[in-house]
């Protein structure tokens, strides 16, 4: 009996690498509160001041609604484009060995490192009617700068790293045996890609596209230089917020911002839930 | 289907993975490729499958030259070491894969596929797991599913890469027996890779022992054990104690240790390979052998007792292992640290400079 007791006492507690759930969780929560929750609360407080009717009036203003449409469509096309092009880029970076691969790999992050205004000005210069690309495209009758196409271009440019950087690690970890198994079972290259590789990449790709989409919803600096900012045609929602701010109409700015915020939150949350369900199947939990 | 491997070679960069080698595999045969890691056995298997291209040589399945045929057209079943099940598919979808990707003209309809999948799953005794995902299965179950998947398209050649390597001993034994039964029942030709000599000897019709990209010996398990044709094979088939002998004064000697020559033995220097269970052990030397050793460990393993011994005043590169039945061990009650004398009953003599051995009996 006595030996049993001593054994029970000697049993070590479960140890974690980072000690103290209380401390680490507390620090994280404090940080999140200061950096994210507090400013967001401020934002909501400011729009609460104005009352429901006024809030509704501001966010459904015709010009603002037009900007929602422009932003949503542009972000949609930009993220779809990034989904395709980003997947291709990630594939090339992971699957092929070629001179300059590391340089290309580093270049992928450039849109994150570059101030977005610089990106916007550069793009605008290149694609304006007497720029290098704009000149060429104009002769084909295509106008990019100062149109919604320009918005898509700027959004795609600033958010492409999201797709590449989420897909790349998953692609790297994909076991070659699964592909080989597909081939020994007689599957064509396309069938192996569609049935074996793609389902494994799909959750990461969706996350990348969603991140790219939400980033595009909020993009400001890169877009305004190339968009032309014509009311009802090429004004994005971030610009509407900026315009309200310049008129010192802080409640209106907050109100519009809260719409963008909600849209992003809902989308990210939905993707998270969906991905968790998909991954649970893969990991058998 | 018979498999003909003719002068196949392969190198990766400057590393010669396979020196030109040839091998004939009969229809319905089960062949074990046995060797240490780096011996080229997996490379050979992958070349047979078409997952790897050979630098030279020719491969033929029956009358069909498949040397330049893509893996997907060779119609072989391949079972991977880590199973390589498709993680996002259910067990049933995994098994159905080979049928689903058939060209439309050859593909059975959905009901027929379902029926065949259920039949295969019943065959591997896992019909109740059809709707599970691979991550929910144990290692042994995954391996069976991998096998069912490989057999779905009724290949005439089944290739297995260390099929039981990652499983525990009991499951491994069970699956081994089960695979052999399946092989005999369905009559496909199988080639499997293993580094486990017991597995190779138990499962194969013929064992191919490989080292450094060469084939060392091809033989039936019994013959392989009875007449290993090189030092390597003898070593690899397990538990050989080597007595490095000089010839002087009519005896094989190594410092103080000495061994009487059997009648027909060559009177030269060389190495005598002695299997661990072919010894008498006692606390006094015999006329035939003076091999003093110190007991450093006593391991009770199942039906036998294994003594680990180090030479006293003579030299051996490795610790000697001697297996005794419990009865013999109990009679003497050897203890750790004690000096014992071993007397071999039979062995293989490799004269210096000679690659092939001569059996010797006392």
pLDDT digits (tens, 9 = 90+) for A230-283: 888 888 999 999 999 999 888 888 889 888 888 888 988 998 898 888 877 776
Nearest residue on chain B to A183, alpha-carbon basis = B72
H-helix or E-strand containing A205? helix A198-218
ipTM for the complex shown: 0.82
The pTM for the full model equals 0.80
B297-326, pLDDT tens digit by residue?
A: 999 888 889 999 999 888 888 899 999 888
A59 half-sphere exposure, CB direction, 13 A CA radius: 17
Q: Report whether pLDDT(A200) > 50.
A: yes
Please choose, from the candidates B306, B160, B152, the residue with its C-alpha nearest in 3D space to the C-alpha of residue B241.
B306
Q: Do B101 and A180 touch (CB under 8 A)?
A: no
Cα–Cα distances (Å) from B136 to A210, B131, B150, B174, in that order, read 30, 10, 20, 21
Q: What Rg value do the Cα atoms of chain B yield, rounded?
A: 25
State the residue for tokens 């499997």. B192
pLDDT band at A5 (very low <50, low <70, confident <90, very high): very low
Q: Is the dihedral of CA B65, B68, B71, B73 positive or negative?
A: negative
Q: Report whether pLDDT(B168) > 90.
A: no
Q: What is the pLDDT of residue A12?
A: 64
Cα–Cα distances (Å) from B235 to A95, B229, B268, B330, in that order, read 42, 11, 22, 29
Q: Do B359 and B338 form a contact (C-beta atoms < 8 A)?
A: no
CA distance B16 to chain A (A): 23
A204-228, pLDDT tens digit by residue?
A: 999 999 999 999 998 888 898 888 8
Q: How do the domains of chain A map onto residue ranges?
A: 62-235
Task: Tell me what the mean pLDDT of segment B275-299 comes to.
Answer: 88
Nearest residue on chain B to A283, alpha-carbon basis = B135
Interface residue of B101, B148, B162 to substitute, partner A, most A CBs within 10 Å? B101
Percent of chain B exceeding pLDDT 90 equals 44
B73-103, pLDDT tens digit by residue?
A: 998 999 999 899 998 899 999 999 999 999 8
Task: Tell me what the mean pLDDT of segment B106-111 comes to.
Answer: 90
CATH architecture, domain A62-235: Orthogonal Bundle (1.10)
A147-160, pLDDT tens digit by residue?
A: 888 899 999 999 99
| Any B CB within 8 A of A186 CB | yes
Q: What is the pLDDT of residue A1?
A: 41
B221-248, pLDDT tens digit by residue?
A: 988 888 888 888 888 887 788 888 888 8
| Any A CB within 8 A of B136 CB | yes
What token pair was written down for B60?
A: 């033929």
Of the two residues B200 and B267, the one the predictor is more confident about is B200
- Measure CA A197 to chain center: 23
A163-178, pLDDT tens digit by residue?
A: 999 999 999 988 889 9
Q: What is the pLDDT of residue A2?
A: 44
């Amino acid at each position: 009996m006595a030996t049993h007791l001593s054994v029970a006492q000697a049993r070590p507690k479960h140890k974690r690498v980072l000690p103290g759930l209380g401390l680490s969780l507390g620090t994280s929560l404090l940080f999140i509160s200061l950096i994210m929750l507090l400013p967001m609360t401020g934002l909501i407080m400011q729009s609460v001041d104005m009352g429901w009717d006024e809030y509704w009036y501001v966010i459904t203003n015709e010009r603002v609604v037009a900007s929602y449409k422009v932003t949503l469509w542009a972000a949609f096309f930009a993220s779809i484009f990034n989904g395709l092009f980003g997947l291709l880029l990630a594939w090339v970076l992971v699957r092929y060995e070629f001179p300059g691969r590391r340089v290309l790999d580093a270049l992928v992050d450039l849109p994150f490192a570059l101030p977005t205004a610089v990106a916007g000005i550069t793009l605008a210069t290149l694609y304006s009617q007497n720029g290098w690309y704009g000149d060429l495209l104009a002769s084909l009758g295509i106008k990019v700068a100062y149109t919604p196409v320009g918005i898509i271009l700027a959004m795609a440019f600033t958010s492409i790293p999201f797709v590449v950087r989420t897909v790349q690690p998953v692609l790297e970890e994909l076991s070659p045996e699964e592909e080989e198994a597909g081939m020994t079972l007689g599957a064509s290259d396309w069938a192996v890609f569609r049935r074996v590789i793609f389902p494994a990449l799909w959750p990461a790709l969706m996350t990348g596209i969603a991140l790219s989409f939400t980033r595009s919803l909020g993009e400001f600096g890169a877009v305004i230089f190339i968009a032309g900012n014509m009311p009802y045609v090429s004004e994005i929602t971030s610009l509407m917020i900026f315009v309200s701010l310049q008129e010192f109409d802080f409640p209106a700015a907050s109100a519009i911002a809260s719409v963008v915020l909600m849209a992003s939150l809902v989308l990210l949350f939905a993707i998270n839930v969906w991905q968790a369900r998909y991954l649970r199947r893969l990991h058998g939990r | 289907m018979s498999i003909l491997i003719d002068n196949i070679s392969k190198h990766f960069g400057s590393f010669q993975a396979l020196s030109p080698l040839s091998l004939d595999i009969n229809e319905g045969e089960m062949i074990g490729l046995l060797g240490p890691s780096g011996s080229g056995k997996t490379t050979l298997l992958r070349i047979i499958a078409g997952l790897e291209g050979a630098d030279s040589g020719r491969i033929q399945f029956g009358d069909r030259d498949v040397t330049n045929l893509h893996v997907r057209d060779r119609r072989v079943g391949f079972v991977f070491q880590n199973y390589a099940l498709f993680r996002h598919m259910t067990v049933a979808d995994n098994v159905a894969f080979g049928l689903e990707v058939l060209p439309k003209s050859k593909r059975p309809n959905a009901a027929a596929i379902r029926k065949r999948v259920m039949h295969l799953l019943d065959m591997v005794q896992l019909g109740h797991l059809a709707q599970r995902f691979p991550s929910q299965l144990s290692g042994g179950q995954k391996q069976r599913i991998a096998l069912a998947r490989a057999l779905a398209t009724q290949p005439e050649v089944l290739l297995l890469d260390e099929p039981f390597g990652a499983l525990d001993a009991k499951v491994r034994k069970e699956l081994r027996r089960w695979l052999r039964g399946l092989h005999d029942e369905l009559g496909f030709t199988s080639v499997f890779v293993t580094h486990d000599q017991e597995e190779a000897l138990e499962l194969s019709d013929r064992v191919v022992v490989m080292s450094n990209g060469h084939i060392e010996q091809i033989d039936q398990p019994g013959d392989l054990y009875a007449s290993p044709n090189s030092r390597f094979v003898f070593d690899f088939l397990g538990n050989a104690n080597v007595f490095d002998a000089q010839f002087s004064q009519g005896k094989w000697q190594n410092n103080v240790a000495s061994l009487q020559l059997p009648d027909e033995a060559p009177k030269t220097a060389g190495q005598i390979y002695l299997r661990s269970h072919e010894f008498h052990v006692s606390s006094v030397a015999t006329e035939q052998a003076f091999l003093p050793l110190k007991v450093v460990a006593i391991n009770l393993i199942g039906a036998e007792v294994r003594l680990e011994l180090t030479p006293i005043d003579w030299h051996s590169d490795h610790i000697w292992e001697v297996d005794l039945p419990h009865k013999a061990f109990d009679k003497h009650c050897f203890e750790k640290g004690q000096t014992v004398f071993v007397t071999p009953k039979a062995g293989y003599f490799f004269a210096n400079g000679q690659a092939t051995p001569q059996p010797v009996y006392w």
